[in-house]
Structure 1
Amino acid sequence: MKRQYLLGLITLLLLAGCADNKDAVPDMPPSDLYTQAQQQLQSGDWADAIKKLEALDSRYPFGPYSDQVQLDLIFAYYKNGDYPLTLATISRFTRLNPTHERSDWILYMRGLTHMAQDSNFMHTLFGIDRSDRDPEPVKSAFSDFKRLLERYPTSQYAADSRIRLLALKNRLAEYDLASADFYLRRKAWIAAINRSQEIQKTYPDTKAAHESLEIQLKAYKALNLEDGIQQTQTLIDLNNKK
């Protein structure tokens, strides 16, 4: 019985070893390994490209392809949906290359990665509202794209960053609107008013800012504050005329 157990264990170990060997990147000159990785990147074979790039990174950390391998890993991780690894590689690259010539692209990729962390295919497919979800990835993405525009206004990524900033601003405004509505439903009138006014101040040109006035009006009415009611109604009337 013991002998059979040992034979079975040995077989499992051998199979595991074969699997590891199958997945292992063969030893070859860095130029050949890099060429294969590039071919796989171009064909969209992200997983295999990542294996070869990681092998290059670990075997030749100071080789002639070092910087480009890191940049390629950032792109491959992002395309493969490995967002924590994307951000970790970006952080490492930025720390080692604070003034790199492609720093605008690095910021752009960090913004895209943070933005992707807020997205969910099934939510989009079924039209599920995400306004009440964690806004931290959106705030981080907003900061990344804003920093890119401030530091590199003529970057080839500037135009797209501006478009994304607008979408992110609307997303953040919607999150605050959901919070204001939550306070209203909980009868936390003052909190609902404060959050509504914060939206109007921070995101004045968004749809959420206009909708927050209705929440603000209901809260003032619940508190029987006539001055607040009149001022808010005046703002609503002005917005309706635009």
Structure 2
Amino acid sequence: MPMADLNRSAIAALVVAFCGLGLGGCDALDSINPFAEKYKPEVVPDVPADKLYSEGLARMEDQDFEAAAKKFGDLDKQYSYSDWSRKALLMTAYANYEGAKYDDAISASQRYIKRHPASKDAAYAQYLMAMSHYKQIPDVTRDQDRAEKALVGLQELVQKYPTSEYAADAKAKIQITRDQLAGKEMEVGRFYLERRNFPAAINRFRDVVSKYQTTRHAEEALERLVEAYMALGITAEAQTAAAVLGHNFPDSPWYKDAYKLLQSGGLEPREERSSWLSKVYRSVIGRTAEAQ
């Protein structure tokens, strides 16, 4: 018999001999067990749903948002597809939001909206999701992906739930977010303008005028367009930009600068109706009239 088979046979015989001695013999095998612990299956009884929910609320009151989110998460798992699960999922999003765990809040909010789109609390879940992006908006020197996602989320809230109690705040946040995105475009546009990359600068300022006309950056964007177009010798567009600026912001210092710049070239503000700027302006006037 090969040595390996002999060893296996001897070990098997030893095990049988020990176990043949009864429980005491099998217990003796534990003394040579290389693992210190034995697996003992435990059955954890379900905690009543209302108790888990109350425990989560208690953690919220103690400002222990991480523990609260865990309690609500346990409730969601243990009572899946129940009304308790629906409440727990929304509270999970809220606890994570309050605890500045914004990505977790976004995830929980999205799950809630997907599972319960017709719920009376769906608007709040949408608000939590949008605000979780909004809270992470960085300064204009950095990438504005969060601002763009916040804008989309806030706009969806206003469109889907226009009569909700969160719609008014969402509208205010939309304006702030749009101003942030316009600020980023202005920063990049100025960068190109300083380096005399006038076409690239024009594209950025054009975006501000086209997409963010109601922000505080529109005045400067129009004046910067005058600068860039004058530098390229495209005087008709420069004159139109100045004319639009003067019509909308006649008392703006940016208009005074644009006017002086045109005068230095023997020109004056004059709107060219075929210009893209003129068309953008007329479309804005049309939308404003419809809204009124």
Q: How much has 1:26 moved relative to structure 2?
A: 9.6
Displacement of 1:114 = 0.8
* 2:248 corresponds to 1:241: no
The question of 1:34 aligning with 2:44 is answered no
Q: What is the SS of the residue equivalent to 1:118?
A: coil
Q: Residue 90 of structure 1 corresponds to which residue in structure 2?
A: 109
Q: Secondary structure at the match of 1:77?
A: helix
The Cα of 1:107 is off from its aligned counterpart by 1.2
Structure 1 residue 171: deviation in Å? 1.0
Aligned residues: 211
**Structure 2 counterpart of 1:241, one-letter code:** D
Runs ≥4 residues deviating over 4 A = none
The match for 1:44 among 43, 63, 73 is 63
In the TM superposition, residue 58 of structure 1 has moved relative to its aligned partner by 2.8
Question: In 2, distance between residues paired with 1:215 and 1:64?
Answer: 56
Q: Deviations over 1:98-141 (max 9, x none)?
A: 2222111111111101101215xxxxxxxxxx223222211221
Describe the shift of the 1:29–1:179 C-alpha distance in structure 2 as closer, same or farther (beyond 3 A): same
Cα distance in 1 for partners of 2:131, 2:79 equals 29
Which residue is equivalent to 2:128?
109
Residue 157 of structure 1 corresponds to which residue in structure 2?
Answer: 166
1:44-76 per-residue CA deviation (whole Å, 9 max, x = no partner) reads 221221222222223332445110000000000
Deviates further, 72-81 or 110-119: 110-119
Report the Cα distance in structure 2 between the residues aligned to 1:27 and 1:98, rounded to whole angstroms. 28
Amino acid in structure 2 at the alignment position of 1:115: Y
Query: Counterparts of 2:132 and 2:60 in 1: how far apart (Å)?
Result: 18
Q: Distance in 1 between the 2:48 and 2:157 partners? A: 37
1:59-138 equivalences in 2 (<5 Å): 59-119=78-138, 130-138=139-147
Assess, with a 3 A threshold, how the Cα gap between structure 1 residues 112 and 89 changes in structure 2: closer, same or farther.
same
Return the structure number with greater helix share.
1
Cα distance change, pair 26–223 in 1 and its aligned pair in 2 (3 A): farther
Check conservation: 2:77, 2:85, Cα contact below 8 A: no
Shift in CA distance, 190/32, structure 1 to aligned 2, threshold 3 Å: same
1:167 corresponds to? 176
- Conserved? CA contact 2:189–2:200, under 8 Å: yes
C-alpha displacement of 1:27: 6.5
Give the whole-Å Cα distance in 1 for the aligned partners of 2:173 and 2:227: 33
Structure 1: runs of 5 or more not aligned: 1-9, 14-24, 120-129
Question: Is the deviation greater in 232-241 or in 138-147?
Answer: 232-241
Does the CA-based 8 Å contact 2:209-2:218 persist in structure 1?
yes
Q: Deviations over 1:154-173 (max 9, x none)?
A: 11111111111111111111
Q: Which moved more, 1:153-162 or 1:186-195?
A: 186-195
1:206-230: CA deviations, max 9, x gaps? 2211111232122123212222333
Aligned counterpart, 1:198: 207
Structure 2: gaps (5+ residues): 1-34, 38-43, 253-292
Work out the CA distance in 1 between the residues paired with 2:221 and 2:48: 62
Q: Percent identity?
A: 27
Give me the whole-angstrom Cα distance separating, in 1, the residues matched to 2:179 and 2:91. Answer: 32
Name the CA distance, whole Å, in 1 between partners of 2:80 and 2:46: 15
Amino acid at match of 1:188: N
Give the structure 2 partner of residue 6 of structure 1.
Answer: none
Q: Report the TM-score when normalising by structure 2.
A: 0.65
AA aligned to 1:31 is D
**Which residue matches 1:176?**
185
Q: Aligned partners of 1:163 and 1:216: how far apart in 2?
A: 28
The residue number in structure 2 matching 1:225 is 234
